Amino acid sequence: MDNTESQSRELSESPSDSNFTISRRGRNCLPRGTEVSSSEKCGLWLSPTAADINGAEAPETGLSIFTVNSTYTTSKMATDYKFEGWMGLDSTAAEGNMVWQEFTPKKWEETDIDIKISHCGVCGSDLHTLRSGWRASDYPCCVGHEIVGTAVRVGSQVSDIKLGDRVGVGAQSESCLGRQGDCEECAMGLEQYCSKKVIGTYNSNFYNGDKSYGGYALYNRVPGHFAIKIPDAITSADAAPMLCGGVTLYSPLKHNNCGPGKRVGIIGVGGLGHFGVLFAKAMGADKVVAISRKLNKKEDSLNMGADQYIATDDEPEWATANSRSLDLIVSTVSSTKMPMVEYLGLLKTGGTFVQVGLPEDGGLFAPVRNLMRRIKLESSLVGSPNEIREMFQLVAEKGIRPWIEEIPMKDANKTIVDMEDGKARYRYVLVNDQ
C-alpha cells in the first residue's frame, strides 16, 4: 500500500440493523458514505473471524479488502421503517373497530425477509380470528394472510429472494423444517401439516417465541422459506387472494387428480368457492358443478366456467335429480347445518368429499350408512410453498383471473363489516397507498 497516500477507512453499524457503511478517501475508491449491503455488491471480501479491521490495497480497483469483526453481519437492507397496522384489541374488532397502531415484529434472524406491503387479501379467517370465533385470540392481533409486496430487507441465509423481488406470503409463516428432529411432513414438502408445530402468519408464535402479525399493515417480517416469488404474468391484486383462498382450493383439487375424466362439485360460491370453479375448469375437469343455496349466483358461476349450477334452497328435487353424478366434491361452507346426507348422495360409488371450510360451532356429522359405498371423507389445510408456486404457474399459463374488488387499506374496518354481511363479489383486496 502506498504510505504517502492520504487514506481513511470508516465502518459504522446502526444498532437497529446489520448494515454498514464504508467510506474511504483516496484514488479509485468508493464515494464517501456509500452504503454497502453485501460482499457481492461492492466486491469486498468479508470475513467474520477477524478481531479487528485490516486493509490491503486491491491491485486493479484501488478498493480495500476488509476483514470484519464477527459482530457485523451482511443483512441486505436497513430497517428505517416502522411496523404499523390495523390491530384488533378485543373481539369487537370484527365489528369494524380495529385500531391503527405500531407493533413489534419478530426479532430479526438471517433467515428472514421484510416485505413492504402493497396488497393484502381479506379472508374469512380474518373475521374468525378477530372475533375469537375458533379459539381465544391473542390480542392485540393484526390479521391478513394474503400478503403481497416488495422485499426490502433480505437475510444472508435467504438464497432465492433478493432485494426488490415481488413476493407473497400466505396463511403459514413457519414450520419446523426438521430443526427439532425428523419431520416426515416437512421433508415431503407438506409444511402445512408439520408434525411439530405449524405457525400461522398471524395470531401465532414463531419458533423463537415472538408473536406473528399479519398483512393489514405497512410491513411484514417472515421467514424467507414461506415467501413466494410472484410471476410477472400475475398482478399483485390478483395474486393476493390466491395465497390463502386460492391454494386452499388448488391443493385438494390437485391431490384428488382433478382433470379430464373427473366430474367435480364445489359447494359454496364465495371467496373460496369461486376459486374452486376457476381452478377445476382450468385443470380440465369434464364437468364443474357450482352448488349454492340461492339462484342469485348462478349467472356469475356460469361465467366463471361452471357447467351446471345447483340452488339447494330453490330447487326442491336437487338431491334426487343429481344423485351419484359427481366424482369429487370440495365443500367451502363453514357451517354444521349443511345437508350432509344429500351432499354425500351426489357422489358416485368411490367418490371423495373434501371439507375445507372450518365451522366455529362444532364438527360435521356424516352418517355411516351414507359412507357405505366406499365414499371417502377428507380434510385439507391451505397449501405448501411448493403448491403455491405450482398454483401460480397454472394461473399464469391459463390466464386465470379471480373476481376481486380493490379497496384502500384505510377502509379496512368498513371492508371487514361488508365481508361479514356477504357483500364481497368475490374477494376483497386491501391496497396500501404509502
Same domain, 155 and 278: no
Angle (deg, nearest 10), helices 247-255 and 273-282 = 50
Same domain, 165 and 214: yes
Closest CA to 168 of 100, 228, 90, 111: 228
**Mean local confidence (pLDDT), 219-227:** 98
Specify the pLDDT at position 188. Answer: 98
Please tell me the total count of domains within the chain.
2
Same domain, 353 and 424: no
Is 35 inside any structural domain?
Answer: no
Is 71 inside any structural domain?
Answer: no
Q: pLDDT confidence of 148, banded at 50, 70, 90? A: very high
Is 32 inside any structural domain?
Answer: no
Distance CA 93, CA 214 (A): 15
Specify the pLDDT at position 369. Answer: 84
CATH code: domain of residue 389: 3.90.180.10
Same domain, 363 and 250: yes
Among candidate residues 363, 379, 395, the one where a domain is terminated: 379
35 - beta bridge partners?
21
Distance CA 221, CA 213 (A): 8
Among candidate residues 354, 379, 404, the one where a domain is terminated: 379
Over the chain, what is the mean pLDDT? 86
Same domain, 129 and 117: yes
Is 159 inside any structural domain?
Answer: yes
C-alpha cell read off for 155? 437475510
Specify the pLDDT at position 30. Answer: 38
Is 58 inside any structural domain?
Answer: no
Residue of higher predicted confidence among 44 and 352: 352
CA distances from 402 to 74, 166, 216 (A): 39, 19, 20
C-alpha cell read off for 342? 344429500
Q: Tell me the residue range of the domain where 128 lies.
A: 84-243+384-431
Distance CA 365, CA 74 (A): 54
**Mean local confidence (pLDDT), 233-262:** 98
Same domain, 249 and 228: no
Angle (deg, nearest 10), helices 247-255 and 385-398 = 90
**Mean local confidence (pLDDT), 153-181:** 97
Same domain, 265 and 332: yes
54-88 pLDDT tens trace = 333 333 333 333 333 333 334 444 568 999 999 99
Quick check: 42 pLDDT over 50? no
Residues 6+ apart with CB under 8 A from 15: none
Quick check: 202 pLDDT over 80? yes
Specify the pLDDT at position 306. Answer: 98
Quick check: 47 pLDDT over 80? no
Q: What is the DSSP string of 238-304?
A: HHHHIIIIIHHHHHHHHHTT-STT-EEEEE--STTHHHHHHHHHHTT-SEEEEEESSGGGHHHHHHH
Is 48 inside any structural domain?
Answer: no
Helices (H) and strands (E) counted in the chain, each on its own, are 11, 20
Specify the pLDDT at position 363. Answer: 81
CATH code: domain of residue 361: 3.40.50.720
Same domain, 119 and 134: yes
Specify the pLDDT at position 308. Answer: 98
Q: pLDDT confidence of 370, banded at 50, 70, 90? A: confident
Same domain, 162 and 292: no
Same domain, 367 and 401: no
